[in-house]
Structure 1
Amino acid sequence: MLTQTLPTWLPRLSFAPVNTAPRGDTLVVVFLRGAADVLNMVVPHGEDAYYQLRPSLGIARPDDSKTKKEERTVDLDGFFGLHPNMSPLLEAWQSEQLAIIHACGAPDESRSHFKAMELMERGVDDERGPASGWIGRHLATLNTGNSSPLRAVGMGTRPQRSLSGSVPVSALRSITDFHLGGDLRALQQMRAALETVYAGDILGQETLSIMDTLQKLDVQNYQSPITNYPDTEFGLALKQTAMLIKAEVGLEVSAIDLGGWDTHFAQGSSAGIMPNLMKDLAEGLAAFHADMADHQNQLTTVTMSEFGRRASENGSLGTDHGHGSMMMVSAAMWTAAKSTGSGLGWRKVNSLGQVIWRSQQIIVMCFPRF
């Protein structure tokens, strides 16, 4: 039984002790849908070609005295640096709990968002192979004794493809959605009937217990003692993920989407569409990282996108579909902050001499805790 020292959003509760996963062993996967322009997120400011190819969109070097300081790259290692709107992640980097993996992704070169996302979420390099998602297969290999209906959650109206498989998953746009509806009398009758039906069923009893827990969680009044989440759908998804982890309802995976990254037109450098997305992403992840400080040893957060974008800006002040992308991994198990991939070359990829940021053609899937 929890004590009265709990915050107001999580009142005194009694949790079912059966079939719960080890405290805090949770993987959070953030998919940046639309093919994020990673070269303006983590800027290769040590590469002259970057500025030659992006005369308008390039983010100024950290020591560029002609540019306002708040519009310059925030240096990480002398070669790479964060876009200024990504600077909330600097603390995680400096505390050696953030790794940035450049030039990674799937070998598919179709430039189709839908095909690339499907392959990435299935964890395969072509259309052959299992139809299930890579997270779904990962969960199927674990033997945690966890039968919680919230073992795997897709934040949104339907589960992400990566969660598909033999392990049941839940779609959750809001914690308040996970409860019975109706007036008080009808709810009491429905609950009594369910108690009778599932009296001898451990899974059914656990589900009812978790529903009771979620019924009492107050999303609106939840406040992190350290930081505030951005008032966005993405911020809400991360906040609710934190609440579920702290409530110990057996959450092992939370899949979250942040869309809008297909920036062919008017992408923006210091302000605009993409800088706003980066602000939402970085502020949300930084708030989540700070809020989950007591759970970092059992928590891994990963970001990915279906592919990257061309190194050269286009005539519409945007960027077109490219290839190599980037992943960010936040986990206490990393022994040092890393930005892998400095010194990667530039390469012509077709007869027109168009160039894209190239990589080893690999799929990176990270399981630091599992």
Structure 2
Amino acid sequence: MQRRSFLKHLGTYSLAAASLPLSSQLFAAAAGSSSPHRTLVVFLRGAYDASSLLVPISSNFYYEARPNIAIAQPGSDPSTALALNADWGLHPALRTSIYPLYQAGEVAFLPFAGTHDLSRSHFETQDSIEMGQELGGSRNYQSGFLNRLAAQLNAGAAMSFTDQLPIILRGDAKVANAGLQKLGKNRLDERQSSIIAQMYGKTSLEKQVADGFEVRSEVEQNRKLEEQAMLMNKQNMQKNQMNDDGNRDAISSKGFELEARRIGKMMRDKYQLGFVDVGGWDTHVNQGGATGTLASKLEELGRGLAGFRAEMGSQWKNTTVVVISEFGRTFRENGKRGTDHGHGSVYWVLGGSVKGGRVVGEQVALTPNSLFQQRDYPVLNEYRAVLGGLFARAYGLNTAQSDSVFKGVAPLDLGLL
């Protein structure tokens, strides 16, 4: 078979049935880096209700605004908030997963965080955040901020654990992607793999090809064990997509622990930068409080993140996990015992070297007059400045390098690393 015809045939191949074409992008794998630090960004698509995660227990207005879905102030009942300090509590669904990490100083929360984008559109705001570019200027949808970071680190070890390469990792740096929700049988047999290896042997792409097959092998190793679990997860995801907006084929929180552990194993041994998105957070109706729809999702997310930490082993001390969402939700509950699209959110920062056990960043007492447009959390901690500060500390970026990731934005050092 001629090389051109063979590559055309391979163009439809997906790594682990995850829409990963055999290209230079597929074969981009670990190339090593002078920095051992690892960063995983977890994007909660659909805009999760941050006021249920990080409960403003000192705000009387919170309890007035949410007569049906508020989380009770800390007490002996297991359904009450877990006290973090005098002003904030944590959702009780995270009692056995994230709360112990907070107490150990490995988790910090950043309220009033987000973008100044005011569209309140899931897709527009997700795109805006992933690009990390100036609002109101020309937009380059082929340049995501994690890709620009990878370029500054010369990090071939970047991986998107998604079906398609998301905007956040698009750009000049070569990045692999492999979805976790559609693991399937390998379409290349040993003979075809051998032909590819021979075609690129002794060429400049030899190492990329070899690394690409290694990525594929890693995905395939656990396929049979995980196939049933992934099928169930896919079914749950499809059910969620019928009711929820903004998911963009992100995995469901259901079964996230299994997938997060897989990510942990791969990032522990190879990848310096990682990205995964989790959908299903658009809770307009019957959101629930200490129990219910949102509580279940938070519990699943918490177990997944704790599982990721466990799989990282000794590398956890060199790892930072950032959990973000496109925006928050309305401070007041709506007429359907849910919440609508809002503005400011709460970010999570986890890691073995994180100076956690704190709620950080600029904050304000929550009253009707302090809300943005009298309905939402204001954005007091702009996400590019916050992430720029984290990246600068984690990787020792200089001013020019930081500006290459978030142009024109001064990094905000919150002392988290």
Q: CA deviation at 1:348?
A: 4.3
For 1:300 and 1:49, the matched residues in 2 are separated by 34
Q: By how many angstroms is 1:306 displaced?
A: 0.7
Aligned twin of 1:369: 394
1:141 and 2:163 aligned: no
Instruction: Tell whether 2:121 aligns with 1:112.
Output: yes
SS at 1:28 equivalent: strand
**Where do 1:62-73 residues align within 5 Å?**
62-63=74-75, 69-73=77-81
Asked if residue 196 in structure 1 is aligned to residue 216 in structure 2, the reply is no
Q: Quote the residue 2:317 is aligned against.
A: 297
Instruction: Give the Cα–Cα distance (whole angstroms) in 1 for the partners of residues 94 and 332 of structure 2.
Output: 21
Q: Deviations over 1:282-322 (max 9, x none)?
A: 11112222332411122110000111111111111111222
CA shift, 1:215, in A, is: 4.3
- When residues 280 and 209 of structure 1 are mapped into structure 2, their CA distance, relative to the original with a 3 A threshold, is closer
2:266 maps to 1:244: yes
Which letter maps to 2:192? Answer: M
Task: Give the 3-state SS of the residue equivalent to 2:78 in structure 1.
Answer: helix
Cα pair distance change 1:318/1:188, threshold 3 Å: closer
Q: What are the ranges of 5 or more consecutive residues in structure 1 without an aligned counterpart?
A: 1-16, 222-229
Residue 307 (structure 2) aligns with: 287
CA contact (8 A) 1:107 1:361 kept: no
Q: Is the 8 A contact 1:310 1:322 kept in 2?
A: yes
Q: Which moved more, 1:76-85 or 1:286-295?
A: 286-295
Structure 1 residue 343 displacement after superposition: 4.1
Q: Which residue of 2 aligns with 1:309?
A: 329
Moved more, 265-274 or 334-343: 334-343
Does the CA-based 8 Å contact 1:347-1:357 persist in structure 2?
A: no
Give the conservation status (yes or no) of the 8 Å contact 1:107–1:362: yes
Q: Greater CA deviation, 167-176 or 72-81?
A: 167-176
Q: Kindly indicate whether residue 212 of structure 2 is the aligned counterpart of residue 207 of structure 1.
A: yes
The whole-number CA distance in structure 2 between the counterparts of 1:142 and 1:257 is: 23
In the alignment, residue 292 of structure 2 is paired with which amino acid?
G
Structure 1 range deviating more: 358-367 or 79-88:
358-367
Mapped to 2, the partners of 1:165 and 1:307 lie a distance apart of 24
**Alignment-derived partner of residue 365 in structure 2:** 344
Mapped contact 1:40–1:58 kept (Cα < 8 A): yes
Determine the C-alpha separation between the residues in 1 that align with 2:301 and 2:42: 9
Question: Which structure is richer in relative contact order (CA contacts within 8 A, separation 6 or more)?
Answer: 1
**Alignment match, 2:237:** none
The CA RMSD measured in Å over matched residues stands at: 3.0
Task: Tell me if structure 2 keeps the 8 A contact 1:140–1:166.
Answer: yes
The aligned counterpart of 1:31 is: 43
TM superposition shift of 1:176: 9.0
Q: How many equivalent residue pairs?
A: 331
What is the alpha-carbon distance in structure 2 between the residues aligned to residue 19 and residue 91 of structure 1?
A: 35
2: CA distance, partners of 1:18 / 1:59: 44
Aligned equivalent of 2:172: 166
Letter in 1 for 2:171: G
1:7 matched residue in structure 2: none
Given residue 170 of structure 2, which amino acid in structure 1 is its aligned partner?
S
In the TM superposition, what is the alpha-carbon distance from 1:211 to its structure 2 partner?
Answer: 3.9
- Out of 67, 78, 81, the residue aligned to residue 86 of structure 2 is 78
Identical columns (%): 26
The correspondence of residues 123-134 of structure 1 with structure 2, limited to 5 A, is 123-131=132-140, 132-134=143-145
Greater per-residue helix proportion: 2
Structure having the higher strand fraction is 1
Preserved contact between residue 108 and residue 125 of structure 1 (Cα < 8 Å)? no
Secondary structure of 1:119's match?
helix
Cα deviation for residue 130 of structure 1 reads 4.8
Q: Is the 8 A contact 1:310 1:355 kept in 2?
A: yes
* More deviation, 203-212/39-48: 203-212
For 1:153, the equivalent position in structure 2 comes to 159
Contact 1:346 1:357 in 2 (8 A): no
**Alpha-carbon separation, structure 1, partners of 2:323 and 2:44:** 7
State the 1:91 CA deviation: 1.3
Q: Deviations over 1:194-232 (max 9, x none)?
A: 2321221232233334444554456728xxxxxxxx993
Contact 2:33/2:154 (CA < 8 Å) preserved in 1?
no
Q: What is the alpha-carbon distance in structure 1 between the residues aligned to residue 354 and residue 99 of structure 2?
A: 16
Match of 2:239 in 1: none
Distance 1:321 1:306 in 2: 10
Shift of 1:125: 4.3
Matched residues in 1 for 2:131 and 2:272: separation? Answer: 19
Question: 2: distance between equivalents of 1:297 and 1:157?
Answer: 29
Amino acid at match of 2:365: L
Q: Does structure 2 conserve the Cα–Cα contact (< 8 Å) formed by 1:198 and 1:204?
A: yes
Q: After superposition, what is the alpha-carbon deviation per residue over 1:226-249, rounded to whole angstroms, capped at 9, x for unaligned?
A: xxxx99342233122112124x2x
Q: Displacement, 1:266? A: 0.9
Q: Does 1:58 align with 2:83?
A: no
The whole-number CA distance in structure 2 between the counterparts of 1:33 and 1:362 is 18
**Is this contact kept in 2: 1:346–1:356, CA < 8 A?**
no
* TM-score normalized with structure 2 length: 0.72
Select the residue among 249, 252, 260 that pairs with 2:280.
Answer: 260
- C-alpha contact (below 8 Å) 1:92/1:289 kept by paired residues: no
In structure 2, the partner of 1:19 is 31
Question: Match of 1:312, SS?
Answer: coil
Aligned to 1:5: none
* Counterparts in 2 of 1:136 and 1:95: CA distance versus 1, 3 Å: same
- Aligned residue number for residue 6 of structure 1: none
SS at the partner of 2:382?
A: coil
